[in-house]
Amino acid sequence: MGRVYNFSAGPAVLPEEVLIRARDEMLDWRASGMSVMEMSHRGKEFISIARKAEADLRELMAIPANYKILFLQGGATAQFAAVPMNLLRGRRKADYVNTGHWSKRAIAEAKKYCEVHIAASSEDRNFSYVPPQERWELSSDAAYVHITSNETIGGVEYHWIPDTGDVPLVADASSHILSRPIDVSRFGLIYAGAQKNIGPAGLAIVIVREDLIGGALPITPAIFDYKVQAENESMLNTPPTFALYMAGLVFEWLKEKGGLAAMERINLEKARLLYDLLDSSDFYASPVAKADRSRMNVPFTLKDPALEEEFLRQAKAHGLVQLKGHRSVGGMRASIYNAMPIEGVRALVEFMRDFAAKHG
Amino acid sequence: MGRVYNFSAGPAVLPEEVLIRARDEMLDWRASGMSVMEMSHRGKEFISIARKAEADLRELMAIPANYKILFLQGGATAQFAAVPMNLLRGRRKADYVNTGHWSKRAIAEAKKYCEVHIAASSEDRNFSYVPPQERWELSSDAAYVHITSNETIGGVEYHWIPDTGDVPLVADASSHILSRPIDVSRFGLIYAGAQKNIGPAGLAIVIVREDLIGGALPITPAIFDYKVQAENESMLNTPPTFALYMAGLVFEWLKEKGGLAAMERINLEKARLLYDLLDSSDFYASPVAKADRSRMNVPFTLKDPALEEEFLRQAKAHGLVQLKGHRSVGGMRASIYNAMPIEGVRALVEFMRDFAAKHG
């Protein structure tokens, strides 16, 4: 089979140009005689790769100088623990907004380290929307406010940045980081697992305001301590060197494509194509409130769930794969991250139109 | 430049056959239309890769059925915290044997979670030997006994397995795992970062006796909890999929080479070549007691330290790289892991002989 259109929610499609470059450099990176995988992380070759990746990410996201960028291991799930371990700073409570599966995972982990106050929840309507800020009940003594700014499974995305005043806003942006420009200065901390919009699994990125680090709980493992990692340029121990190299190639690719403003234009168009089909058809439906629909993860249902297996089978035969929804919600889901070309979305829309015509 | 002989202590040389296969499969793994990096970790393709890697490792090391194999993130440094978090099981003390840099790192981290008793130390002679067991002072109430079974920086290796009776023996085997057969049943837990003898950085392996898991401290992050990870086949969250795939290719390569008994024969011969030169020359010297010398990491000194820069420069010109010793101890170090072919060691020995003849 040739390359397919892969709608996996993560690990997910990578830009083909990036994979080709990684392939071509696999045995010998720039006449070093070594694969990037074989390089000492303390050697000048790899240090140059890591520093360029950081500089390119800082440029792409316009990250202010008073924010540290950390490249860590353990995925966003490690950050579910690391965030309270580092950011409580003597307080005992944190506010969380519950918008679905990944919010709940973050909340469950935070409860090991502090009192969690649910400031708002969309559970009343099956996590199909983002609770508007006027309904949030923030604590006066919270160490931080945590949101999941894009719910990968539910397909719900914040298209606005909450105002939490002097209380630092923390966002798990795993599944929409780099999909659009954002004002980083409005956040105390942004974290993301790499395996959706950044690069391969095994890397997580933490962007944290400097004044928030340095007060980790005594029980914090060294690799989770933001201050220790910042002082060591994320190399307290051996970092996931190849994953970081791949992320760096993706950052270069994004810059060549025109940066995040250009990506946002394409992502808007891709999302429009797919949601327009869902809204114009009574064969398909989107479970998510229109204003809060994710541009990255598009869950949808078929009017007749008995057709799901056939839908997946025929889609695969058309080279459209990984469209099955998460086992916790069922239905279908198309993840259309930066690396999914618009041609892939067009092919999906065309297939879906034909399928509906045949089976509607 | 063509491929060099890379003596890095880690990340380290990988078998060229493995890199070639990874390159050839980079854009399309077995007609899946996807790179391994792009596959959902829950899909049948990746599950088959992960299960084969586990089965091959179990076969290679003859790991008994009552041991779990976990593929985790965070390197051995994460395990410095995870081991006490999981293995204290109501006890408050653990015994550690201090044989150098990596022992000290493990000890410092364990002190966050328990009382650490130093059962033995080789600090009296600059960590140049393994304290014989008759001098160990084990506690009666230790939850476990921890050793660093190969010190990557000091070049000191246990060529015997300590007897700790009913107290579980825990080994950080990062830099010599897979270099020889070992009797896993003598250990409660063996852990290793991948980036020396297993595969790329970003993966760690934990082999743990089943009866030791299930009693993690309440403050244990979920990704560190062996029971949670075992129940989820190391997929509580997205694993470092590509690193695990690469490790699996290395396991297949080891099986093709005849397994660990065959590797031990080659490793003994490689080490003999290098130590024979060091012992027969008064230009070079090994700082390590003969009985405790590592087969994997060979530190050595030049009689005249002023020649070190010239040695490194000329070695590099001969395609022999990453020979500089760790900044904490100076001198030189040749790491000769499984993937270093004997031809590389021969080339190094020949170069060293010539260099000594010219400058001696």
Cβ distance of B19 and A34 shorter than 8 Å: no
Q: How many CA atoms lie within 13 A of A259 on its CB side?
A: 10
Question: What pLDDT was estimated at residue B49?
Answer: 98
- Residue ranges of chain B with pLDDT lower than 70? 1
Q: Which amino acid, residue B199?
A: G
Interface test with B, best of A8, A25, A35 (most B CBs within 10 A): A35
Query: Does domain B17-256 sit in CATH 3.40.640.10?
Result: yes
Collect all residues of chain A within an 8 Å Cβ-Cβ radius of residue B39.
8, 11
Mean pLDDT of A340-358: 98
Please write the tens of the pLDDT for every residue from B239-273: 999 999 999 999 999 999 999 999 999 999 999 99
Question: What pLDDT was estimated at residue A221?
Answer: 98
Collect all residues of chain A within an 8 Å Cβ-Cβ radius of residue B219.
112-113, 219
In the set A56, A95, A172, A225, the catalytic residue is: A172
| pLDDT surpassing 90 at residue A230 | yes
Query: What helix, strand, coil percent values describe chain A, rounded to 5?
Result: 40, 15, 45
Give the count of beta carbons closer than 10 Å to the beta carbon of residue B203.
Answer: 29
Question: What pLDDT was estimated at residue A271?
Answer: 98
Interface test with B, best of A242, A246, A297, A326 (most B CBs within 10 A): A242
Q: Give the residue range(s) of CATH 3.90.1150.10 domains in chain A.
A: 259-359
Contact residues, B window 184-243, toward A, CB-based 8 Å cutoff? 193, 195, 200-203, 218-224, 236-243
Question: What pLDDT was estimated at residue B238?
Answer: 97
Nearest-CA distance A115 → chain B (Å): 14
Task: List, by residue number, the catalytic residues of B.
Answer: 102, 172, 196
Pairwise CA distance, residues A292 & A315, whole Å: 27
Mean pLDDT of A319-330: 91
A237 marked as binding residue: yes
Collect all residues of chain B within an 8 Å Cβ-Cβ radius of residue A199.
37
Question: What pLDDT was estimated at residue B360?
Answer: 82
Residue of A nearest to B73 (CA): A74
Interface test with B, best of A5, A112, A237 (most B CBs within 10 A): A237
Q: Which CATH code is given to the segment(s) A259-359?
A: 3.90.1150.10
Place of tokens 């808007």: A268
**Which of A278, A271, A318 lies closest to A300, judged by CA?**
A278
Pairwise CA distance, residues A128 & A124, whole Å: 9
Cβ distance of B19 and A4 shorter than 8 Å: no
| pLDDT surpassing 90 at residue A1 | no
Rg (CA), chain B: 21
Asked whether the beta carbons of A120 and A137 are under 8 A apart, the reply is yes
Mean pLDDT of A112-129: 98
Instruction: Count Cβ–Cβ pairs < 8 Å, chain A vs chain B.
Output: 226
Question: What pLDDT was estimated at residue A328?
Answer: 81
Q: Give the residue range(s) of CATH 3.40.640.10 domains in chain A.
A: 17-256
